């Protein structure tokens, strides 16, 4: 059993917490304990997403984080199930030119005819141009998460599951009451995903404007001609994305629904909304059948950027939250930035992620 008195307690065992533990254990010599409220780590946002590694993100700071993470995924390809299938970002040329000009990633414009020959499911779908990024890909989300946790454990990090936080007092030291007994720690790292605002409120930390948004994913079958080596497709103008999944297709209509209850329930009208999008935008998919649908949470700050750094008002309370749906693609760099800021106050241009940006002037 893990020690009840670690130096650092990381709350949350998804990508934010696992990657932070992985990197922090390389540079920090104190004891580290990761706890998660579920019996299996990463069953919420980290385990319910499409596993896309997309570097051509419109926000330059998040783009840099994903681009810095991608070489690690490529290096550990077989271990984490990374497939460099590439991506096709659909949209208007002016919008995509801005993305291409501000990134240092090899990407190329493709005409609609070129794209449709490669991905026939886009027949009948109107778009101006596509930006292809060959180094993008898809990761096995469970394998990637275990890669971080396994590496952290190898350096002495302990992980305690089925351990829900019930109250927090402190901070000298923090006293955390959990479903598996009390834990004392000198430092708290809040990597609790959609539950990060609740953890902050328990601890008396700064109330940051983080909002969990529910998004749905569909698994479609009876989709003819799907090829596993296809790139994933993401449309910026008529928001949707899809990628091959076995012999079917994984599809999202990029919906966002604010939910007061943090349960991965499926909204009643979502299948109708997806059917409408398919009918209007993707006629080649009209014969597809919905085999499954599920939801997950994307926790966002108002500016869409991550929250990584020390709390503006509460001592020894550190944030790794608000990954806004980019947790898989950026997780390596998120953990590295968090470990650097935690261990030695590293100051980089990524201070755009600092929690203090929301503090009152």
User: What pLDDT is stored for residue 16 in this prediction?
Assistant: 96
Query: Does the pLDDT of residue 2 top 50, yes or no?
Result: no
Q: pLDDT, tens digit, for every residue of 255-290?
A: 999 877 888 889 989 999 999 999 999 999 999 999
What is the DSSP pairing of strand 158-160 with strand 248-252?
Answer: unpaired
Shared domain for 101 and 195, answered yes or no, is no
> pTM here?
0.94
Residue keyed to tokens 């940006």? 357
Both tokens of residue 244? 């091959």
Residue 125: give the domain boundaries: 87-134+211-299
Least confident of 55-59, 230-234, 344-348: 344-348
292-344 pLDDT per residue, tens: 999 999 999 999 999 999 999 999 999 999 999 999 999 999 999 999 999 87
pLDDT band of residue 350 (cuts 50, 70, 90) is: low
User: Which CATH number fits the domain that encloses residue 328?
Assistant: 3.50.50.60
Neighbours of 69 (CB within 10 A): 24
Q: Distance between CA 145 and CA 16 in Å, rounded? A: 10
In the predicted model, is pLDDT for residue 45 greater than 60? yes
8 Å CB contact between 141 and 47: yes
In sequence order, the 6+-apart residues with CB closer than 8 A to the CB of 76 are 82, 147
pLDDT above 50 (res 349): no
Could you give the residue ranges of the DSSP H alpha helices within the chain?
15-27, 60-75, 77-80, 93-101, 112-118, 141-154, 196-203, 270-281, 327-344
**Average per-residue pLDDT in the chain?**
92
What does the alpha-carbon distance between residue 287 and residue 71 come to, in Å, rounded to a whole number?
A: 38
Q: Which residue has the higher pLDDT, 124 or 102?
A: 124
211 CB-contact burial (10 Å; exposed 0-12 / middle 13-18 / buried 19+): middle
Same domain, 219 and 348: no
Q: Token match 């993470």: residue?
A: 69
Number of domains in the chain: 2
Domain boundary among 299, 318, 339: 299
Cβ-based neighbours of 236, under 8 Å, separated by 6 or more: 58, 89, 90, 91, 92, 95, 96
Q: At 290, which CATH number?
A: 3.30.9.10
Mean pLDDT of 341-356: 76
């Amino acid at each position: 059993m893990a020690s009840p008195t670690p130096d650092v307690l990381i709350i949350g065992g998804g990508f934010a917490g696992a990657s932070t533990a992985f990197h922090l254990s390389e540079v920090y010599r104190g004891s580290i304990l990761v706890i998660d409220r579920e019996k299996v780590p990463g069953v919420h946002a980290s385990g319910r997403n499409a596993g896309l590694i997309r570097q051509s993100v419109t926000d330059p700071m998040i783009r840099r984080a994903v681009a810095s993470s991608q070489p690690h995924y490529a290096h550990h390809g077989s271990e984490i199930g990374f497939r460099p299938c590439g991506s096709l970002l659909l949209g208007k040329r002016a919008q995509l030119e801005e993305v291409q000009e501000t990134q240092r990633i090899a990407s190329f414009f493709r005409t609609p005819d070129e794209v449709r020959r490669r991905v026939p499911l886009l027949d009948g779908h109107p778009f101006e141009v596509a930006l292809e990024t060959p180094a993008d890909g898809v990761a096995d989300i469970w394998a990637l998460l275990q890669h971080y946790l396994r590496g952290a454990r190898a350096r002495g990090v302990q992980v305690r599951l089925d351990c829900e936080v019930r109250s927090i007092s402190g901070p000298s030291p923090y006293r955390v009451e959990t479903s598996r007994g009390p834990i004392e720690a000198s430092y708290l790292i809040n990597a609790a995903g959609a539950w990060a605002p609740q953890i902050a409120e328990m601890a008396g930390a700064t109330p940051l404007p983080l909002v969990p948004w529910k998004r749905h994913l569909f698994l479609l079958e009876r989709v003819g001609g799907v090829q596993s080596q296809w790139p994933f497709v993401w449309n910026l103008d008529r928001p949707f994305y899809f990628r091959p999944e076995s012999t079917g297709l994984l599809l999202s209509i990029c919906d966002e629904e604010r939910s007061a209850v943090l349960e991965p329930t499926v909204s009643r009208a979502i299948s109708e909304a997806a059917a409408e999008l398919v009918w209007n935008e993707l006629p080649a998919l009209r014969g597809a059948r919905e085999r499954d649908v599920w939801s997950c949470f994307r926790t966002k700050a108002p500016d869409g950027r991550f929250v990584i750094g020390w709390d503006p008002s509460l001592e020894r309370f550190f944030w790794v939250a608000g990954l806004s749906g980019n947790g898989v693609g950026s997780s390596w760099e998120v953990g590295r930035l968090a470990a650097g800021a935690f261990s030695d106050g590293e100051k980089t241009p990524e201070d755009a992620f600092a929690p203090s940006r929301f503090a009152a002037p």
